[in-house]
Amino acid sequence: MRDGTFLVKASGAQLGRATDTSFVRMETAAVMDAINDPNLDAYDNAGLDHRMRNATGDPKGPKPSIEAMLHALAIRMCGALWVGIPTRAPSTRLLCSDRATDLVAGHLFPDQVVMCGRHALLVPYAEPGLPLARAVRDRLRGHLDRFGAPPPTDLPRQTTA
């Protein structure tokens, strides 16, 4: 959102049954500050929970989803306007295989370039939460330094004639 905030699903909320109260407004800068804080131990779950709840402006309100940090990274570092994280897509099965690096080593077919861009970004497994957020941040920084642009953050728009 243009006001420096974004909406993320509340922890435990189901998208199929979502209502207005299923989402939490987060301050992008506060989430990024937590990710980048070298004094916040990657495995200090209580400290991270405190920081994420404070980033909502309502520490006693619904707890934001653990993916909130990935949303903030995509928004701040890639210019994404919205973020969707597939959890059951066939691509997830491929990316969780022991041959995931083969998928980004080159281009197998033209649609791969259309969907993933010329320079895809693969982040090796990291534990959910702050370890994953920091791994994504570091890989994004490297990608930006190497290619001068973020990897694709949205799907191409379909047009009808």
Quick check: is 58 in a domain? yes
> How many distinct structural domains can be found in the chain?
1
Quick check: is 107 in a domain? no
Evaluate whether 64 touches 10 at the Cβ level (below 8 Å).
Answer: yes
The pLDDT assigned to 153 comes to: 59
Going by pLDDT thresholds of 50, 70 and 90, the confidence category of residue 158 is very low
Quick check: is 99 in a domain? no
Quick check: is 48 in a domain? yes
pTM: 0.85
* HSE of 54, CA atoms in CB hemisphere, 13 A: 12
Instruction: Give the pLDDT mean for 118-143.
Output: 92
| Beta partners for residue 26, in sequence order | 6
When mean pLDDT is compared over 58-67, 98-107, 119-128, the highest value belongs to 58-67
Q: pLDDT per residue over 41-73, tens digit each?
A: 999 999 999 999 999 999 899 999 999 999 999
14: domain range?
Answer: 5-85+121-147
pLDDT at 154 over 60: no
